[in-house]
Structure 1
Amino acid sequence: MASKSLFVFFLPLVLSPFFSGCAEAQGGLRVGYYSQTCPKAEAIINAEMRKIIKYAPSLGGPLLRLHFHDCFVRGCDASVLLNSANGQAAEKDGIPNQSLGGYGVIDVVKVKLEKACPGVVSCADILALVARDVVALSKGPYWQVPTGRRDGTVSIASEAFQLPRPTDGISQLIQNFAGKGLSVQDLVVLSGAHTIGVSHCSSFSSRIYGSDPSIDPKYAATLRMKCKPKDLTTLVQMDPGSVTTFDTGYYKQVSGNRGLLNSDAALLQNPQTKAYVLRQSTGSASQFFKDFGDSMVKMGNIGVLTGAAGQIRKKCFAVN
C-alpha cells in the first residue's frame, strides 16, 4: 500500500518497563533459538538498533513496517527483502511496497551477524527482532520474540496486493486479518503501530478533498494546507507530535475522528474495535503495550518456514 504504515520489533532494555510475549509459539519457533548456535545474535541486533534510533529515530516506523509487510505476503519469510531478479519483479517492487524503506539497515545487521555466526541467523528472524527492538527503543513495549524462522526463496510483486489498503473499510480489514489467522482484537491492536508512522498525502487525499463525514472538518482543513490535490511526495505524521514515540496517541487521534487513513477511521465502525480505541484513548498504555507484544508474536508466526524448509540467506536481498 502507498502509506508508510502498517497498511502502510539481547541486552536488557531500560526504556520500557513493560514485558510481553509467550515463551514459545506454534510452528516450531521458540524463544532463545540461537542461544547455542549464535548466542550474541540478539545483542548484535539490539546494538545496531540503538545506534539507528539514536541518530535516525524516524526509521523506527519504516523498520517496524517491514516486518508487517513481510508477514502479510507469503508469511514471515523475508520475501519482502528480495530484489527483483531474472525478469521476475519482487514484492518490494510491487506498487503497495514502493514506499517501504530501511532495507539498508537490515543489510548492515545481516553483515554483522554473518561475521559473528556465518549461515545461522535468518533474515526473517532479523526482521522480527528489529521490529521488536525499534518499538522498545521508541519508548514502547518489549516482548520476547520466538525465533527459528527460515527464509523463503520466492518473491512476486503482484502478491503485494494481498496487503491491507489504506482505503479499506472495517469489513475488508477484518476479512484480510482473519485470512492470516489474526483476530479483530489483533487488527485494532496492530493498527496502534501507526503511532510511529507517516503516510503519503495520496493515501488519504480523497478523504480531505471529498465529503467524508468520518473526519473532523478542522483536521481535514489542516491536512489540506499540507497536502495539495494530486500530491504524491509529501509525508504527514499519523500521530502528530508523537511520530518517534510509541504510545497511545494514535487511539486519541482516532477517537476524535482524526484518524488519517480510511482504515484508521474504520476502527470506529465496529463495536469491538471502537470499544478498544475508546479505552486506549483515555487509559494508561500498559494494557496496549501488553496486547501489542502478544499480537506481534501471533503475527510473527504467520506462514513461517522452519526445519528443512527454505534456507538461511547469506544476503537478505538475494537467494543463495
Structure 2
Amino acid sequence: MQANIVEAVNDALHTEMAADERVLVFGEDVAKSGGVFRATDELLDAFGSDRVVDTPLSEIAIVGGATGLAMYGYRPVAEIQFSGFLPPAFDQLVTNASRIRWRTRGELSASMVVRMPYGAGVRALEHHSESLEGSYAHVPGLRVVAPSTPADTKGLLTSAIRDPDPVLFMEPKRLYRSFREDVPEGDYTVPLDEAVVRTEGSDVTVIAWGAMMPPTLEATENLDADAEVIDLRTISPMDTETVVESVQKTGRAVVVHEGPRSGGVGSDIVACINDEALMYLEAPVERVTGFDTPVPLLSMEDYYFPHPPQIRASIERALSV
C-alpha cells in the first residue's frame, strides 16, 4: 500500500492491536479525536475505550502508567503530543522504565513504547519543536529510535512494540505527510539497532537520521563525488559497526543532526570514528547541527536547522582536504 509516515504509524498500531490484545494505546486526545496529527484515528472504533484511552494532561502520569502496565505484562504505547512535553516524564523514563529489568535482575521488564512527534519546521509554538534525542540517548536501558521513511516507520514501530525494553519512538513531524511510498501490509518488522545505507559511495560518509534525511539526500545530489549516506534509524544503542566500516572505506565523514550542537549525538559519532577509524581519516569529521539555543518561533526556525546548502558546504569542505 502507499502511505505517508502518519498513516504508517496508524497501520502499525492497528496491526499490532489486532494481533495482540496486550497492546494498549493511550495519551492526550488519542481516542475520540484520533490524536493531534490523527496518528491514532479510528483505533477507538476498532478496539474500544478499554484499549484506546484519553488521559489527563499529565506526561509523568502517562509514562508512569505505561511503566506500571508494562510491568504487569501489557504492551502499552503511550503518546506524548510533542517532544517538548516529555521532560516532565523524564523521571519515569530514567528512574523506573529504563532500569526495571536491571533492578529486578530480569524478573520484570518494561516492554513499552513512548511515541512523540519531534523537530522544527512546522511553525509550532514554544516547546513543540525540540530535537532532544541526545538527552535520552544517554539513558542506559532506553532505546531511542527515529525513522525517516513510512516503511521504516511501520517496521520499526512494530519491532519497538514487541521489544522487551522501553523504546522512545521519535517521529519526524515535518515529514509526517511530506511523501508516500510503498509500505508492506500486515505483519512487517524492521530490526532495531541497525542503520541502513541509503546511497552507496566511496568518497565521503554522511550520517543522519529522522527529519534530516531528506535534506541530506538532497545535498548529495549532483555532487562531484560519491557520497555514502547512512540513516542511523536507532540512535541508542547505535549501530557503530556500519558507521565505522563506511568511514574506513571513504576516509571522510559528515554528521548531520537537528538538535543542539553541544552534547549532541553527533559528538558521540565523532568520538566513535576517532576511536575506531582515526587512522583511515583523510580530513577532520564535519558536523552540521542546530544551534545551542531554544528553537526560535515562526519563520525564524528556518535559520535553526540544517538545510541542503549547509550540508553540501560541509561535505565539500571535507572533500577539499
Larger helix proportion, structure 1 or 2?
1
Q: TM-score, normalised by structure 1?
A: 0.30
Larger strand proportion, structure 1 or 2?
2
RCO comparison, higher one (Cα < 8 Å, 6+):
1
